Structure 1
Amino acid sequence: MPASNGARRHHSSALPLAWLAVSVVAYASLYPFTGWRWPADLSAWDLFVLPLPPWRYKFDIWANYLGYIPIAALVHAAGVRGGRRSAPCWLFAVTVISLLSFVMELTQQFLPLRFPSRLDWALNTAGAVAGATLSALALRLGWVDRWQQARDRWFIRRSGGALALLLAWPLGLLFPTPMPLGLGPSWARLQDGLMDLLVDVRGAEDLLAWLEASPPPVGQPSALPEALGIALGLLGPCLLAFVVTRPGWRRMAMALGAAVLGLTTTTLSAALNFGPVHALAWLTPVVAPACALGLLLAALLVRAPGSLAAVLGVATLSASLMLVAQAPSDPYFALSLQGWEQGRFIHFHGLAQWLGWLWPVAALLWLAAHLGSRDATGGA
């Protein structure tokens, strides 16, 4: 799709978000990546004839349709924001997303725990058509131009990566965290994962013995480390936002928005696990003062230079990762994990877990790259 002569290229967050969305689809479609085998009684040609499902749950139908709408919208928007015409971008988005869905359904036939379906492919394609059409309609109505004008007032150039990370942050909070707003792996989860990886590795006996002799902390977390972890868990994304947000009241609005979004997402996660009655089960006496501390620290930095916000962001995220890793596993955390791993979220818990684990690392890498760019040294 060549760029049109009159189209203008923008550094858009739609492109990294589109790649993130495609990665999410691939991961969720093929999880748990175990038990690969050639499907019995199927020839190579029969693989391309997807079966119809023996059941049709309303949740699955709506999830397969609605889930592909934002993906196609992002792909279309990324093409248009890159300077290409809308009509070819629409055709490209629908074709590529439909092909992606077909490949995922085709590959699921090699996984015994997944159920490929011709209906899912049709619903995914319909969602792609709807998403690309909505994106084209937003372009026609001028909403994209209004968004660009607002973005130019709020954010610096080359802010797409940071904005994509900020949009992904609440998704990581959907998976149960060792402490509220504390993204990153706990030592117990890291230990289990490392031991599973090393159990059959020759020469790793000493490392396995050390891991077994290093039990994770248990019991209720003490108030001070928990409060500090919650405050830093909120301050980290605020500082990431400050790096790309113009100084002043806009940064404070971003910090307040992060607090509301983080607490709302944590409440949603608890409600999905235990029901609406227990949506605030995670709210301990430490949470409110800790969030207030995080917002206070953010308020003191609303006029800090972007380079200083990036340096403090690296330090904040590093400290938050260490606190989360050392956090003891309390009964609420254990029950939350059980709800995700054995309940209705079994097909999504691996993806949500990895997103929650890797988000701080991705944010650290982005901040480090920003510090070495001309944007952090006075460039536009």
Structure 2
Amino acid sequence: MGWLPSRLPPRRSSATLLAWAYAVLVVYASLYPFGPWTWPPGLSARDLVGLPWPKYWGGFDVQANLLGYLPLGLLLFAAAVRSGRGLVAALLIGLALPPALSFLMESLQYFLPRRVPSLVDWLLNAGGAAAGVLLGLVLYLPGGLTRWQARREHWFVPHSAGALALLALWPMGLLFPAPVPLGLGQVLPRLQELAASALEDTPWALQWEPGPLPDAPPLPPGLEGITIALGLLAPCVLALSVARPGWQRLALVFGAAALGVLSTALSTALNFGPQHAWAWLTVSSWPGLALGLGLACILCAFSRRACAAWGLVAVCALIALVSEAPSDPYLAQSLQGWEQGRFISFYGLAQWIGWLWPFAVLAWLLALLAHRDT
């Protein structure tokens, strides 16, 4: 076995956090719309141990089930290796856990009238996870994971797994269209609507209008540009708060800007058609992007602790401005097509990530500033 790369030293890895996040995605996509839960007529408890062979399936279902579990197998294998487990243990974890999760999800679909359990889906999920493990093995044998660890240690300080996981989730949050380009975190109006609905017809009923109305005037161009700048600045300061000093800080800033622009273009293309992919680049967007990129470049010269402190200011301001932005009636009409289509489970999860991502960044930056050795 001398041809195998040496076991990596145990260390908290962003692959572990991403594996948990992706498992949540799988559960969300498998059980949406989470009701109504009913016991199927004629189903006995003994029938739950097996899955039926479907009467029909389409090409999209085959691709979605096969590719959907591939990242989970890869992430579990990488997380096991990075945590210090041996190759055999990592292979068993990557090959056993995804099929077990898939079988549980398919079995629970018996109780959801809008979902159909399928043995083919389970086989495809298991095959996709195995392909992910194989991909991880291909990267592991020539020392690819070892080189990735060395590269990560060169670019980032220890204990940066949480920040890297949040940075990896940021593009997914951008796939659900924001009220302002790069403007994630518009969850406060939804919480107000939920509170108003829960307290309706009670002595504690809310006396204000919950959240911006669809026909409310849009943000002035200046505020819209500032919101876009803050939306770009948020991931940049998160990366700078865990980045080592050096030229790589500028590379991270420009990489985040390119990723944000491309993710927003992809989101616009998915909703309004490929011909409108760059329609969001308006007279307010260009100055906002330039301002956010310029501020991020200036912060490259600051300490990690200072970047984290400025990050708290930027993210709080982003949440405040995005909460005042009105919803887009054309966007709402476009989303009805998604809600009636096959991507609603994925799209709903992207929406939740977009809503909660800034608050997770706030929690991470606060925890970082709480450590005196930052």
Does the TM-score normalized on the shorter chain lie above 0.5? yes
Residue 46 of structure 2 corresponds to residue 45 of structure 1: yes
Structure 2 CA distance for partners of 1:249 and 1:125, relative to 1, 3 Å: same
Greater mean deviation of Cα atoms: 184-193 or 123-132: 184-193
AA at the equivalent of 1:38: W
- Within a 5 Å distance, the mapping from 1:89-108 to structure 2 comes to 89-108=90-109
Residue matched to 1:112? 113
**Aligned residue in 1 for 2:3:** none
Contact 2:13 2:82 in 1 (8 A): yes
State the partner residue of 2:150: 149
Q: Distance in 2 between matches of 1:89 and 1:322?
A: 44
1:298 aligned partner: 296
Mean Cα displacement is larger for which, 28-37 or 6-15? 6-15
- Partner in structure 2 of residue 206 of structure 1: 205
Aligned AA (1:224): G
* Offset at residue 349 of structure 1 (A): 2.6
Structure 1, unaligned runs of 5 or more: none
Structure 2 counterpart of 1:273: 271
SS in 2 for 1:109: helix
Further displaced range: 220-229 or 275-284:
275-284
Deviation at 1:91, TM superposition (A): 1.2
Deviations 1:321-341 (A, max 9, x none): 111110022344334433433
Partner of 1:338: 336
Shift of 1:148: 1.1
Distance 1:212 1:220, change over 3 A: closer
Contact kept? 1:156, 1:246, Cα under 8 Å: yes
**Contact 2:218/2:326 (<8 A) preserved:** yes
Shift of 1:109: 1.4
C-alpha contact (below 8 Å) 2:187/2:356 kept by paired residues: no
Deviation at 1:55, TM superposition (A): 2.7
- Distance in 2 (CA, whole Å) between partners of 1:213 and 1:351 is 22
For normalisation by structure 2, the TM-score amounts to 0.93
Whole-angstrom CA distance in 2 between matches of 1:298 and 1:316 = 11
CA contact (8 A) 2:18 2:165 kept: yes
Deviations 1:328-377 (A, max 9, x none): 2234433443343334432223211111101111111111111112541x
Runs of at least 5 residues in structure 2 that lack an aligned partner in the other structure: 1-5
Q: Partners in 2 of 1:213 and 1:7 — Cα distance?
A: 50
- Matched-pair contact (CA < 8 Å) for 1:69–1:130: yes
Q: Which moved more, 1:96-105 or 1:189-198?
A: 189-198
Distance 2:325 2:70 in 1: 38
1:357 and 2:330 matched: no
Contact 1:230 1:287 survives alignment (8 Å): yes
Percent identity of equivalent pairs? 50
What secondary structure is seen at the aligned counterpart in 1 of 2:345?
coil
Q: Secondary structure at the match of 2:241?
A: helix
For residues 99 and 186 of structure 1, what CA distance do their matches in structure 2 show? 34
- 1:188 Cα deviation (Å)? 5.0
- Measure how far apart 1:191 and its partner are: 4.1
Decide whether aligned partners of structure 1 residues 103 and 196 sit closer, same or farther in structure 2, where only a CA change above 3 A counts.
farther
- Report if the CA contact (8 A) 2:228-2:288 is conserved: yes
Deviation at 1:122, TM superposition (A): 0.5
Alpha-carbon RMSD: 2.2
Q: 1:94, CA displacement in angstroms?
A: 1.1
- Offset from partner CA, 1:17-75 (integer Å, 9 cap, x none): 11111111111211221211111210011122212233312112111111111111111
Asked if structure 1 preserves the Cα contact closer than 8 Å seen for 2:213 and 2:326, the reply is: no
SS at match of 1:347: helix
Aligned partner (choices 236, 246, 251) of residue 238 of structure 1: 236
1:121 equivalent in alignment to 2:122:
yes
TM-score (norm 1): 0.91
Equivalent position of 2:136 in the other structure: 135
Once the two structures are overlaid, the 10-residue window that deviates more, 341-350 or 52-61, is: 341-350
C-alpha distance in 1, partners of 2:215/2:187? Answer: 10
Q: Tell me the residue number matched to 2:218.
A: 220
Aligned to 2:75: 74
Instruction: Give deviations 1:270-305, integer Å, cap 9, x for gaps.
Output: 211222122223222211111010000001110211
User: Using the alignment, how far apart are the partners of 1:31 and 1:75 within structure 2?
Assistant: 24
Does the CA contact (< 8 Å) of 1:221 and 1:330 recur in 2? no
Q: Indicate how the Cα distance of structure 1 residues 251 and 71 shifts in structure 2: closer, same or farther if over 3 A, else same.
A: same
TM-fit CA distance, 1:167: 0.3
1: CA distance between counterparts of 2:142 and 2:170?
30
* Partner residue, 2:227: 229
Farther off after superposition, 141-150 or 269-278:
269-278
Alpha-carbon distance in 2 for matches of 1:344, 1:260: 29
8 Å CA contact 2:173, 2:354 repeated in 1: yes
